[in-house]
Amino acid sequence: MTTGKELEPRVEVLPVAAPRMTAQAITEHRQQITLMQSLVRDLLVPGIDYGLIPGTKSDSLLDSGANAIFTAFNCYPGERRIIRFIDDGRSLAICIEVPIIDRLTGRTVGSGVGASSSLEAKHKYRWSDDPRKDGYDEESIKLLKTRGVSNNKTQWKVLNTEQPELLNTILKMASKRAEVDAAASMPGVSTVLKQLWGQGIPAKTQPAPVRQEKAAEASHSDSTRYDRFWGEINRMGYTPEQARKKVGTSSFLDWEKSGHSLEEAITILRGEDEPAAETE
């Protein structure tokens, strides 16, 4: 006789044994980190991927450098998560966490945190042509910092009261800082960055072909197009070497000089067209 509510058989779940650490596993792990460090070192270009940020005393990883590191590790930034948002009517502040996703497995392999505030000097103040319109009296105006502009005009540095207009700006800034933080936390990357910034073993003095091409693109009159182009390549999961090989060119600058376009290259990489013969 049954009651209609049969008891399900009890399933005992045994604890998962921790993976064994062997000398071979440790050696292989070290070798992998060394290889990734070498790749990251070759990809980063001084003044483009890392450099001195105004107001700081040492070099820092820049947004383009973070993207290069994600490419090296075959990862990409996932959906951002707002950890904290403050709006007290006088200032805005936001803290964001960004996960790093492995392209092959779809798993989260790291994360970074970044914050930005309207109280930062570059957001807190603005230049005004007439501080009286901003509520300053004559005595207060005498205490304001000034600068000369064209036509012998003067501007005064005043508090920025347009806080709501800064929301999008500080949101993007916090997001970029989170990505940079995540990239710097990838295995072995912090060691490479210290080396590149002169705090350890010197970086290679002769740039690799990838670095030479990126430097040339950065000085190009329309470098923004190349930023978008490499960003799209990164999203498709190609490394710079893989992209050039599939398209059939040794340099995308030469690719354009031969009469092709970056849009054609993207079409080929998406598998919608046949690659052209490599240019000499």
Indicate the burial class of 207 (C-beta count within 10 angstroms; 0-12, 13-18, 19 or more).
Answer: middle
In a domain, 75, yes or no: no
Same domain, 221 and 279: yes
Which residue segment(s) compose the domain that 256 sits in?
A: 206-280
**Residues 192, 28 contacting (CB under 8 angstroms):** no
In a domain, 110, yes or no: no
Question: What are the tokens at 27?
Answer: 């050696």
In a domain, 17, yes or no: no
Same domain, 280 and 212: yes
HSE of 221, CA atoms in CB hemisphere, 13 A: 0
Question: What are the tokens at 143?
Answer: 């205490």
In order of 69, 107, 123, 162, the CA distances from 154 in angstroms are 44, 55, 20, 21
**Residues 100, 75 contacting (CB under 8 angstroms):** yes
Closest CA to 218 of 68, 69, 71: 68
In a domain, 251, yes or no: yes
Alpha carbon distance 227, 180 (integer Å): 17
Give me the amino acid identity at 102: D
Q: In the listed set 104, 134, 159, which residue is the last one of a domain according to the structure?
A: 159
Alpha carbon distance 204, 210 (integer Å): 13
Provide CB contacts within 8 A for 160, sequence distance 6+.
Answer: 118, 123, 124, 125, 126, 166
Tell me what pLDDT residue 203 has: 43
Tell me what pLDDT residue 98 has: 95
**Residues 232, 266 contacting (CB under 8 angstroms):** yes
Q: What is the mean pLDDT of each run of 10 residues along the chain (280 residues)?
A: 52 56 76 72 77 78 87 88 89 93 91 92 83 86 83 83 81 93 87 70 46 55 64 74 86 85 88 53
In a domain, 9, yes or no: no
Q: What is the DSSP string of 213-244?
A: HHHHHHTSTTHHHHHHHHHHHHHHT--HHHHH
Virtual torsion, Cα 138, 144, 150, 153, nearest 10 deg: 10
Our count of domains for the chain comes to 2
Closest CA to 261 of 214, 224, 219, 229: 229
Tell me what pLDDT residue 211 has: 54
Alpha helices in the chain, H assignment, sequence order: 23-43, 63-72, 121-124, 138-141, 167-184, 189-196, 209-218, 223-236, 240-247, 252-257, 262-269
Provide CB contacts within 8 A for 119, sequence distance 6+.
Answer: 91, 93
Q: In the listed set 100, 131, 159, which residue is the last one of a domain according to the structure?
A: 159
Tell me what pLDDT residue 272 has: 63
Q: In the listed set 100, 135, 159, which residue is the last one of a domain according to the structure?
A: 159
In a domain, 167, yes or no: no
In a domain, 201, yes or no: no
Alpha carbon distance 146, 85 (integer Å): 33
Alpha carbon distance 94, 173 (integer Å): 10
Alpha carbon distance 248, 279 (integer Å): 8
